Amino acid sequence: MLHSNESSEDYLEAILVLSQEKGLVRSIDVAHHLNFTKPSVSRAMGLLRERGQITVDKDGWITLTDAGRAVAERIYERHCLLTQWLIRLGVSPQVAAEDACRLEHDLSDETFQRMKEHIAARGE
């Protein structure tokens, strides 16, 4: 279930990643990717659909709307940059990915933009 904005962002990010990997995405794919139960994912998909962030066709295929894609891409960009940056700092890849997952939701846009600029300026 979507208990928070962070949770909805995780679902949208998962749909984006899976659609890039597989092309087409169903709820069961999201459940396996996030290691959540099918009923939890089904409920979340209903809420994302109500929010206008996804569409689900008659065959169960999930598509991000423009609004959903914008959120997913923003979170995924943060996740990738934070993960790579933490790895470059010497954090193990698994811990870096886990920490990036927590950080990606809580950073302000201002802080993230300054981090991106700093990393780009240093060539990291």
Residue spans per domain, the chain: 5-69, 75-122
Can you read off the two tokens belonging to residue 111? 């802080």
- pLDDT value at residue 55: 97
Q: Domain 5-69: which topology?
A: Arc Repressor Mutant, subunit A (1.10.10)
Distance (Å, rounded) from C-alpha 61 to C-alpha 82?
30
Q: Any idea which fold 75-122 has? A: Diphtheria Toxin Repressor; domain 2 (1.10.60)
CB 62, CB 27: distance < 8 Å: yes
d(CA 97, CA 55): 28
Predicted TM-score (pTM) of this structure? 0.86
pLDDT in tens, 33-92: 999 999 999 999 999 999 999 999 999 999 999 999 999 999 999 999 999 999 999 999
Same fold, 5-69 and 75-122: no
Q: How many Å apart are CA 105 and CA 7, to the nearest integer?
A: 9
pLDDT band at 4 (very low <50, low <70, confident <90, very high): low
